[in-house]
Amino acid sequence: MDLAKHFIVKPGEKPRLSQRDPNDSAGVKKDVEKLQKTLSRLTELQHLLYADKRYALLIVLQALDAGGKDGTIRHVMSGVNPQGCQVMPFKAPTSEERSHDFLWRIHKAAPLKGNIGIFNRSHYEDVLVVRVHNLVPKEVWSKRYRQINDFEQMLVENGTTILKFFLHISKEEQKLRFEQRMEDPARNWKLSLPDFEERQHWDAYVDAYEDALRKCSTPWAPWYVIPANKKWFRNYLVAELVVQALNDMKLKYPPPTVDVSKVVLAD
């Protein structure tokens, strides 16, 4: 099965998240050794990307609370050299950021050529949480889909490949994960009341995500709906799609800057 085609959101398609099974594993059996091989290949390709320096890779991670953004980063990027990979978590904008257009802070965080950039939440918050909580008028946020598409196309035309992953979990799975976090001292310190309160807006967020997926899955920057109830499959699928994107870049090592055949090392 072509995993990319199976989980991609086709341009113009409005994916009904209720019809996409968050437990789907596309017939793939859990195989730790296979995942490790994929992660090893990712390590090799990231080193090659860093040496090549013609392209950049931007990975956008979006999910409802407890969807697994942090876990995906931790597991999929476990073997990546930190020197060539940056993770940017987007929180509520600062006063300076609010004084600019909503994409200003996003563009500043775009990865350098040769690097992998990971957005833990992203510019899509400005058509998600902003919409659900009526933080700006509809006439403002409704224009942002087009602005996002134009912005992403500009990045792509300048050498950045964009992969956008929506980590799709069920409401039942979210509840289970919240309960597990509440019982775990190593994780419950991260919980806050808004995490629980946002569950009341589940349906509104689903509607907002479906619109964002439909309006902003483009040929140059497609969205993928990643079934995320099974963490092992979530990690495997994201890793496979990242490796595929890096392979498609046809990366190569640059020639040496000196003629090594003429270099004589002193004893």
Given the DSSP bridges, would you call strands 85-89 and 56-63 parallel, antiparallel or unpaired? Answer: unpaired
- Quote the pLDDT of residue 192: 79
For the four alpha carbons of 198, 200, 204 and 206, in that order, the dihedral sign comes to positive
Which two three-digit tokens encode residue 116? Answer: 């992998």
Q: Can you tell me whether residue 201 is helix, strand or coil?
A: helix
- Quote the pLDDT of residue 186: 86
Classify residue 221 by burial, with Cβ atoms within 10 Å: 0-12, 13-18, 19+: buried
Count Cα atoms within 13 angstroms, Cβ side, for 94: 5
Which two three-digit tokens encode residue 185? Answer: 């001292």
The reply to whether the predicted model has a pTM over 0.85 is: yes
- Quote the pLDDT of residue 166: 98
For the four alpha carbons of 112, 117, 119 and 122, in that order, the dihedral sign comes to positive
Write down the H helix ranges in 133-266: 138-141, 144-157, 171-182, 193-197, 202-216, 231-248
Domain ranges of the chain: 3-262
Are 46 and 248 in contact by the 8 Å Cβ rule? The answer is no
- Report the CATH fold assignment for 3-262: Rossmann fold (3.40.50)
- Quote the pLDDT of residue 26: 94
- Quote the pLDDT of residue 256: 87
133: left (phi over 0), alpha (psi -120 to 50) or beta: alpha
From first to last of its 267 residues, the chain has per-residue pLDDT tens of 789 999 999 998 989 999 999 999 999 999 999 999 999 999 999 999 999 999 999 999 999 999 999 999 999 999 899 999 999 999 889 999 999 999 999 999 999 999 999 999 999 999 999 999 999 999 999 999 999 999 999 999 999 999 999 999 999 999 999 999 999 888 888 777 878 889 999 999 999 999 999 999 999 999 999 999 999 999 999 999 999 999 999 999 999 888 877 888 888
CA distance 152 to 221: 7
CA distance 111 to 160: 8
Which tens digits make up the pLDDT trace of 183-235? 988 888 877 787 888 999 999 999 999 999 999 999 999 999 999 999 999 99
- Quote the pLDDT of residue 201: 96
Question: Phi first, then psi: what are they for 23, rounded to 5°?
Answer: -100, 0
